[in-house]
């Protein structure tokens, strides 16, 4: 005889074995019969979607390449346009004669529409902010006058008005006194040409204005 507990234990073992046998039998049937039709259809649908996605990606890639080519072509057009604009600006700039300094026109050497050779003077500009005086000193005074020596200038146009300046140039070679000097005695002397730069904030000093200069000797 067996007890009730043993009977229950044997029955549980039998039910577990029967369940395992049923599961194995079902798996064997799946292997023998192959996948069900709905599973095949599902896999086929996945394949179709994958193919469609691949075609879409290929189409997008071609479109992207076409757009890149269009962008490259447009960039080349823009570069050519910029080069043409730069050329036109340069040509326009060549039609304008700009003075390197502010001043007044002293001599006009050409007219509008006139064809000029390279290097031809068009106008002569006077720098009225920084005029200079051409003067002459005797040979005996050459050693006493230095570059930077201060000078004072007066004119008949503005009596009593003194303009300050300094010696900015001394010629290295002597010359005879220019002919505009009044007396023959003065004209035969050897002199040295000098340049005196002046301050002219009110533009009172004009081109070719006669003036007297006094150099301050140290």
Q: Please write the tens of the pLDDT for every residue from 40-86.
A: 566 667 767 777 777 777 777 777 788 888 888 888 988 999 999 98
- Cα angle: 112, vertex 113, 114; to 5 degrees: 95
pTM of the entire predicted model: 0.47
In whole angstroms, what is the distance from residue 206 CA to residue 47 CA?
97
CB 109 within 8 A of CB 122: yes
Q: How confident is the model at residue 199 (pLDDT cuts 50, 70, 90)?
A: confident
- Phi-psi region for residue 129, left (φ > 0), alpha (ψ -120 to 50) or beta? alpha
Residue 211 has pLDDT above 70, yes or no: yes
Kindly state the average pLDDT of the residues 114-126. 82
What's the chain's average pLDDT? 79
Q: How confident is the model at residue 39 (pLDDT cuts 50, 70, 90)?
A: low
- Cα angle: 147, vertex 148, 154; to 5 degrees: 110
Q: How confident is the model at residue 182 (pLDDT cuts 50, 70, 90)?
A: very low
Which positions ≥6 away from 89 have C-beta within 8 Å? none
pLDDT tens digits along 141-171: 888 999 999 999 999 999 989 999 999 999 9
151-168 per-residue burial string, b: 16 or more CB within 10 A, e: under 16: bebebeeeeeeebebbbb
In whole angstroms, what is the distance from residue 211 CA to residue 134 CA?
10
Class of domain 128-215: mainly beta
Domain boundaries, the chain: 128-215
The sign of the CA dihedral 163, 169, 173, 178 is negative
Q: How confident is the model at residue 32 (pLDDT cuts 50, 70, 90)?
A: low
Runs of H (alpha helix) within the chain: 4-33, 37-94, 184-187
- What pLDDT sits at residue 206? 86
Helix (H) or strand (E) segment spanning residue 137: strand 132-138
Helix (H) or strand (E) segment spanning residue 191: strand 190-198
């Amino acid at each position: 005889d067996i007890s009730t507990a043993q009977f229950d234990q044997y029955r549980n073992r039998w039910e577990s074995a029967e369940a395992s046998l049923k599961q194995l039998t079902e798996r064997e049937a799946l292997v023998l019969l192959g996948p069900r039709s709905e599973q095949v259809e599902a896999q086929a649908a996945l394949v179709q979607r994958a193919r469609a996605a691949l075609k879409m990606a290929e189409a997008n890639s071609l479109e992207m390449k076409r757009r890149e080519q269009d962008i490259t072509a447009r960039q080349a057009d823009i570069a050519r346009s910029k080069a043409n604009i730069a050329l036109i600006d340069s040509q326009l700039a060549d039609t304008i004669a700009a003075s390197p300094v502010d001043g007044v026109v002293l001599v006009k050497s050409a007219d509008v529409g006139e064809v000029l050779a390279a290097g031809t003077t068009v106008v002569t500009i006077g720098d009225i902010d920084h005029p200079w005086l051409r003067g002459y000193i005797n040979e005996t005074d050459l050693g006493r006058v230095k570059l930077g020596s201060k000078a004072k200038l007066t004119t008949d146009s503005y009596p009593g008005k003194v303009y300050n300046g300094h010696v900015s140039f001394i010629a290295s070679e002597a010359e005879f006194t220019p002919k505009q000097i009044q007396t023959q005695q003065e004209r035969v002397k050897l002199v040295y040409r000098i340049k005196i730069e002046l301050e002219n904030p009110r533009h009172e000093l004009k081109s070719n204005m006669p003036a007297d200069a006094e150099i301050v000797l140290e």
